[in-house]
C-alpha cells in the first residue's frame, strides 16, 4: 500500500464530531415581559458554539411559584435524554431558591447533561464551572435575603417614627352606616349622595 493510500484510509480519517443537542430555557416574571431578548442571545450563543437547538421552554411566572410548566417539561425531557446541554440566559430565574437550583443541577449532572449560563458565562462541563455555580448561587441568595431584611428594617423604622405604611385606614361613620342599612340604603347610594354634597358645597 502506498503512502497516499495509507493517508486516505478510513482509520486515519477523523470522525466528524456530532454537534451537541441543546435545550433553551427562559423565564420572565410577568405577562407584560417578553423572553425575546433572552432567546436572541441564547440562539446566537448556540450558533457560535455549534449547538443544535432541539427544544425551547419558557415560563411567564413569578420566581417564587412552585409550579413551572416549562421547567417541569424541560426536566421531564431531560430524563428522556432529548438533549445534551441546557442553555439559560441567567441561572437565577431558573429556580425559586439556591436549594432548588442545586437540586436541578444535581439531577442534570446525574443525567450527564451540561448547564450553561449566558450572563454568568458559566459552563458545568468542567469541575470549575460546577463549583462556580454553587458559589454564585449562594451569593445571589444572600443578596436577595439582604434586600428583604433592609425592606423590613425600613418598615420597622417608619412605624417607630409614627409614619403611615401603606394605605391610610378608611374612615367610616359606623352610626350613619347602620342607619343607612336599616333604611335600605346601599353603600353605593350613600357614596353618591356624599359625592353630590361635595360638588354642591364647592
Q: Are 84 and 125 in contact (CB under 8 A)?
A: no
The sheet carrying 21-28 orders its strands as: 52-60, 21-28, 85-88, 114-117, 122-123
Rounded to whole angstroms, the Cα distance separating 138 from 142 reads: 6
Rounded to whole angstroms, the Cα distance separating 1 from 5 reads: 6
DSSP type of residue 161: T
29 catalytic residue (yes or no)? yes
User: 49-53: long-range contacts (C-beta < 8 A, 24 or more apart)?
Assistant: 49/20, 50/19, 50/20, 51/19, 51/20, 51/21, 51/22, 51/85, 51/87, 52/19, 52/20, 52/21, 52/22, 53/22, 53/23, 53/24
Residue in 2, 9, 29, 62 annotated catalytic: 29
Strand 122-123, strand 114-117: pairing: antiparallel
Active-site residue set: 29
Amino acid at each position: 500500500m502506498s503512502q497516499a493510500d495509507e493517508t486516505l484510509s478510513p482509520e486515519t480519517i477523523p470522525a466528524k464530531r456530532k454537534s451537541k443537542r441543546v435545550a433553551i430555557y427562559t423565564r420572565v416574571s410577568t405577562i407584560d415581559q417578553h423572553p425575546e431578548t433572552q432567546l436572541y442571545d441564547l440562539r446566537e450563543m448556540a450558533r457560535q458554539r455549534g449547538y443544535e437547538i432541539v427544544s425551547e421552554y419558557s415560563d411567564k411566572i413569578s420566581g417564587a411559584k412552585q409550579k413551572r410548566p416549562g421547567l417541569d417539561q424541560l426536566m421531564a425531557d431531560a430524563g428522556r435524554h432529548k438533549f445534551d446541554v441546557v442553555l439559560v440566559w441567567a441561572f437565577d430565574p431558573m429556580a425559586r431558591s439556591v436549594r432548588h437550583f442545586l437540586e436541578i443541577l444535581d439531577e442534570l449532572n446525574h443525567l450527564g447533561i451540561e448547564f450553561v449560563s449566558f450572563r454568568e458565562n458559566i459552563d458545568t462541563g468542567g469541575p470549575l464551572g460546577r463549583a462556580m455555580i454553587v458559589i454564585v448561587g449562594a451569593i445571589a441568595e444572600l443578596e436577595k435575603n439582604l434586600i428583604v431584611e433592609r425592606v423590613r428594617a425600613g418598615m420597622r423604622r417608619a412605624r417607630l417614627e409614627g409614619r403611615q405604611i401603606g394605605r391610610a385606614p378608611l374612615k367610616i361613620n359606623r352610626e350613619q352606616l347602620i342607619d343607612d342599612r336599616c333604611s335600605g340604603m346601599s353603600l353605593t347610594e350613600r357614596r353618591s349622595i356624599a359625592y353630590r354634597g361635595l360638588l354642591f358645597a364647592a
